[in-house]
Amino acid sequence: MNSSKFTGLLYTGKITPEDCVDWAITCLEEGKNGDYLRKLASMNKNHLEKDEVFKLVRYCFADIGFRCYPNEINSLLNQAKETARKILSGEVEPNDGVSKIADIAGQIDFPFYKRLEDWIYLEEGNHPECLEKGWIFYKTNPQKWLEIVMREAKVLSESDFYFDEESWQKGEL
């Protein structure tokens, strides 16, 4: 499966963990390379942990340098905003929504990556506002995490920012 088709199916939720492994194998066969890509391609399809697979996919995008084109950024931002609205309405579980938005943030990697950066921290459970010190280590406070997710979802869903390619090319962003 080529990367464009894979990405489209991934963000519409029509991809399985097994498809992710197949995609990684295809990428390696096409000469793409990376530690995460090799790890994903080597996974046993009979024993896949869905969350682990989809997290690896995000890292694989960085491995192979696959990023969206500037003309795709607004579409991805709209997907992130829609996911935030669904988190607020209860249509999407916070954990699932955070993962989807973090994946989008990882794919954008352009000026608006910073606008979604907190979602990556939330997905990894290490957002500074939800960490509590416990002796010599930090742990995530689940209640505070959920409060931050809901706050960030509200901010994102109400945001009006968009990517203007012309301004970006002129260096104005």
Q: Does 78 lie in the same domain as 53?
A: no
Q: Does 46 lie in the same domain as 84?
A: no
pLDDT at 70: 63
Q: Does 115 lie in the same domain as 39?
A: no
Q: What is the mean pLDDT of the chain?
A: 82
Q: What residues are paired with 139 via a beta bridge? A: 132
What is the arithmetic mean of pLDDT over 8-37?
Answer: 84
Q: Does 88 lie in the same domain as 12?
A: no
Host H or E run for residue 67: none
Q: Does 105 lie in the same domain as 33?
A: no
Q: What is the DSSP letter of 28?
A: H
pLDDT at 171: 47
* Alpha helix (H) residue ranges in the chain: 3-11, 17-29, 35-41, 50-64, 73-89, 94-108, 113-124, 142-158, 165-169
Host H or E run for residue 33: none
Q: Does 57 lie in the same domain as 11?
A: yes
Q: Does 116 lie in the same domain as 160?
A: yes
CB 24 within 8 A of CB 44: no
Lowest mean pLDDT among 91-95, 127-131, 136-140: 136-140
Q: Does 46 lie in the same domain as 105?
A: no
Of 12, 42, 64, the residue at which a domain comes to its end is 64
Domain count, the chain: 2
Residue 172 pLDDT more than 50? no
- Measured between its terminal Cα atoms, the distance across the chain in Å is 35
Give the long-range contacts of residues 96-99, CB within 8 A, separation 24 or more: 97/149, 97/153, 98/122, 98/123, 98/149, 99/51, 99/54, 99/55, 99/123
- Checking phi first, is residue 60 left (phi over 0); if not, alpha (psi -120 to 50) or beta? alpha
- Checking phi first, is residue 92 left (phi over 0); if not, alpha (psi -120 to 50) or beta? beta
Residues 43-92: pLDDT tens digits? 998 888 888 888 888 788 777 776 666 667 788 889 999 999 999 999 99
Whole-angstrom Cα distance, residue 80 to residue 109? 14
Residue 156 pLDDT more than 70? yes
Q: Does 105 lie in the same domain as 58?
A: no
Q: Does 113 lie in the same domain as 43?
A: no
Of 46, 64, 82, the residue at which a domain comes to its end is 64
Q: Does 153 lie in the same domain as 77?
A: yes
CB 84 within 8 A of CB 97: yes
Q: Containing domain of residue 40, as a range? A: 3-64
Question: For the whole model, what pTM was predicted?
Answer: 0.60
Q: Does 43 lie in the same domain as 107?
A: no
Of 18, 44, 64, the residue at which a domain comes to its end is 64
